[in-house]
Amino acid sequence: MSDIFSGRKMRIAFFHELPPGGARRAVNEYARNLKKNHIIDLYITEHKSTNEKTFYTNIFNFPFSPKNWQGNNWKVRLYKDSMELYQLYKLHRKIANHIDNGKYNVAFVSASRYIQTPFITRFLKVPFIYFSHDPFYRIIYDSFLAIPKDIDVFRYLYEKLNRFVRKILERENVNYASIFVVPSKFISDLFDKTYNKRAGIVYYGVDSSFFKPGNINKDIDIFYIGSHHFIDGYEFLKDVLNRMKLKPKTRLLLTDIEWISDDKKLRELYRRSRIVVCTAYREGLGMVALEAMSCGIPVVAVDEAGHKETVIDGFTGYLLERDPQKMAKKLDYLLKHPEQISKLGKQARETILRKWSWPKRTEELENILLKHAIF
C-alpha cells in the first residue's frame, strides 16, 4: 500500500447477492485479506444462514426468499416479475439505510443474482464502488438466451415487455454508481460496450498457500466444474468426451445439482485430477482455471474471453478454438503423454506464484477503496 494511505483503518460495508460460485469466492477472498487491516462487514439477503463468517468482522443478513419458478405457472412468474422485484427494491433501500447509519468509510457493492446491478446503488449515501463480475445481464443482453421463436404470441409479448422493463431498471441502477471495477480486461471492454462506461481492472487472485499441489493419487483424468446450462459449455464438453479415442475417468461437478462449500474437498478434487477443462461461453475470468493451475494442474480451455487472460497457451495449458474434435484430440494427446502434463502443471504453479497472489490483488482494491473513502 502506498505511503499516503499507510495506517488508515477503514470500516467497509460489503454487499452482494451472488450465487455460489467463483465470483462469490472471489468476494470472500477480497474480504479475508482486507480484514487483516480493516473492519469488513457483510450485508446479504440469504434465506438461510451463511457459513462464511470467517471472512468478515460481522454479517448482517436481511432474508429474501424468492419464489421458485420452473415454468408453466404464470401466476408465480407474474409475481416474480412484479411484486417480488418491488420487495427486493424495498429491501435494498432498507439495507442502504442500515449501511449509511453504520459509520462506514466506504462500501463495496457487488452483483445481485436477481437483477445484476442491485437497487442499493440508488439509495447509498456513503461512497461506494460497484464491482461488476460480469456486466452481461444474460436474460437481457445475451444472444444465447434470446426469446424462443416457437412460443405463442402472448408469451412472446410478455417476455419482451419483461426484459424491456428489467433493462431499464438495471441501467438506471448502473447510472447511480460512479466508480466501477471489474476483474478482467474482457469484462472491462464488455462493460464499456454494454453501458458506455469505463471500469478499472482488479484481477482475482488465488490462495496459493491453500490451493497447492499435494501428494495424492491421480484417479481423475478430466475434471470439469460448471452446470447443465448451455452457457457453461456442458453440451460442448459431452461432445468432446464422446469424440475422444480414450475413455477418460471424468469428474463433472455440476453446480446446479451439487455444490461443494468445503474448500478442502474442492482442493482434493483438483489434486486428484490430471487435467481441468474449461468450456464456458464468455467466461469473465474464471476462478476454476486459476485454482487448478495453483494446484499444479494444467488447464485446457476454449480460446475465448477471460480464458485468454488466465491460461498461457502451451505453457500452463492450452487454448483451443471451440471445435470438439480438436479439443478431443488434444486431451487424448495429453493423457498419452503424462510427462507433458507434469511439465505444464509445474509451469502453471510457478505462474500463479509469480502473478496471481491475493495479497497483491487485494492491495490494488484497497488503494481504490481508500482513495474514495470518507474519514
- What per-residue confidence (pLDDT) applies to 148? 67
Q: Which of the residue ranges 41-55, 91-105, 116-130, 303-317 would you say has the lowest mean pLDDT?
A: 41-55
Alpha carbon 359 to chain centroid distance? 19
Please state the CATH superfamily assignment of the domain spanning residues 220-355 in this structure: Glycogen Phosphorylase B; (3.40.50.2000)
- What per-residue confidence (pLDDT) applies to 4? 42
Task: Indicate if the pLDDT at residue 92 is higher than 80.
Answer: yes
Residue 1 pLDDT class (50, 70, 90 cuts): very low
Q: Give the mean model confidence (pLDDT) for residues 337-349.
A: 96
- Dist CA 320 CA 302 (whole Å): 5
Question: Percent of the chain at pLDDT above 70?
Answer: 93
Task: Indicate if the pLDDT at residue 367 is higher than 70.
Answer: yes
Task: Indicate if the pLDDT at residue 325 is higher than 90.
Answer: yes
pTM over 0.95: no
- Dist CA 61 CA 44 (whole Å): 5
CATH number of 3-205+358-372: 3.40.50.2000
Query: Cell for 48?
Result: 438461510
- What per-residue confidence (pLDDT) applies to 153? 79
Give CA torsion, residues 193, 194, 200, 205, to 10 deg. Answer: -110
Task: Indicate if the pLDDT at residue 3 is higher than 50.
Answer: no
Task: Indicate if the pLDDT at residue 228 is higher than 60.
Answer: yes
Higher pLDDT, 92 or 68: 92
- What per-residue confidence (pLDDT) applies to 8? 83
- What per-residue confidence (pLDDT) applies to 39? 96
Task: Indicate if the pLDDT at residue 83 is higher than 60.
Answer: yes
Q: Where in the chain is the domain with CATH 3.40.50.2000?
A: 3-205+358-372, 220-355
Supply angle C-alpha 108, 168, 69, rounded to 5: 85
* Beta carbons of 222 and 273 less than 8 angstroms apart: yes
Residue with C-alpha cell 483451443? 320
Residue 13 pLDDT class (50, 70, 90 cuts): very high
* Mean pLDDT for all residues in the chain: 89
